[in-house]
Amino acid sequence: MMQSSVRWIVTGIAAACAVLPSGLSAQAGYDVTEAPTPDDSARRVVNKLYLDLSGILRPGHKGQPDNPLWPQHLSRRTEALLNRLEAREGSRVFDYDWLCQCTKDEKFRVPVRIMVEDSTDKKARLRVGMRFPGGDVRHVTLTMVYEDGWKIDDIRNERVRDFRTEIDHAITRLSR
């Protein structure tokens, strides 16, 4: 048990170093002159979004922030679809966070496990595993597209429900 905890701590420190500003990353031994591969850069963006969602990067860390970064990292088409929904609804219709598949009161452990399933220069698919207290593990698959940086185009949960499809269904329900 102790060895597993140490491994998670070491992995978390390494993950945090990967998202530090360039000067600090270089001091931490990361060669910033080396161009990252598409899957490395997509993985770094996803890691940063989960670190932010955990609240660990925020001053006075007290769990999930009220304004997580990830909605600002949606692809143009997904952002447009979400904006259509919010224009009709006035606020978010989902009562949980799609990125962690959890409510604000649930705390997942960082680091999360990120596995690149497929990637090109313009698109990547990453599978993310999150551990929660009590041993619960949840997974999502993120489809990322490169639009002036890596952006989330879709999120698929374990029940094979897609974020974009759910937004579209919500718009349709509100249109009736």
**pLDDT, tens digit (0-9, with 9 covering 90-100), for 134-144:** 889 999 999 99
Band of pLDDT at residue 93, cut at 50, 70 and 90: low
Given a cut of 70, is residue 84 above it in pLDDT? yes
Q: What percent of the chain has pLDDT over 90?
A: 34
Please, what is the average pLDDT of the chain?
A: 77
pLDDT, tens digit (0-9, with 9 covering 90-100), for 107-148: 888 889 999 999 889 999 999 999 988 889 999 999 999 998
What value does the mean pLDDT take over residues 66-70?
Answer: 81
pLDDT, tens digit (0-9, with 9 covering 90-100), for 15-48: 444 443 333 333 333 344 444 566 689 999 999 9
d(CA 97, CA 134): 19
Which pair of structure tokens corresponds to residue 70?
């990830």
Which pair of structure tokens corresponds to residue 120?
């090109």
Band of pLDDT at residue 4, cut at 50, 70 and 90: very low
Choice between 89 and 47, residue whose per-residue pLDDT is larger: 47
pLDDT, tens digit (0-9, with 9 covering 90-100), for 49-66: 988 888 877 777 666 777
Annotate the chain with three-state secondary structure: CHHHHHHHHHHHHHHHHHCCCHHHHHHCCCCCCCCCCHHHHHHHHHHHHHHHHHCCCCCCCCCCCCCCCHHHHECHHHHHHHHHHHHHHCCCCCCCECCCCECCCCCCEEEEEEEEEEECCCEEEEEEEEECHHHCEEEEEEEEEECCCEEEEEEEECCCCEHHHHHHHHHHHHHC
Band of pLDDT at residue 86, cut at 50, 70 and 90: confident
Query: DSSP label at 162?
Result: B
Band of pLDDT at residue 160, cut at 50, 70 and 90: confident
3-state DSSP call for residue 23? Answer: helix
Top CATH class of 35-175 equals alpha beta
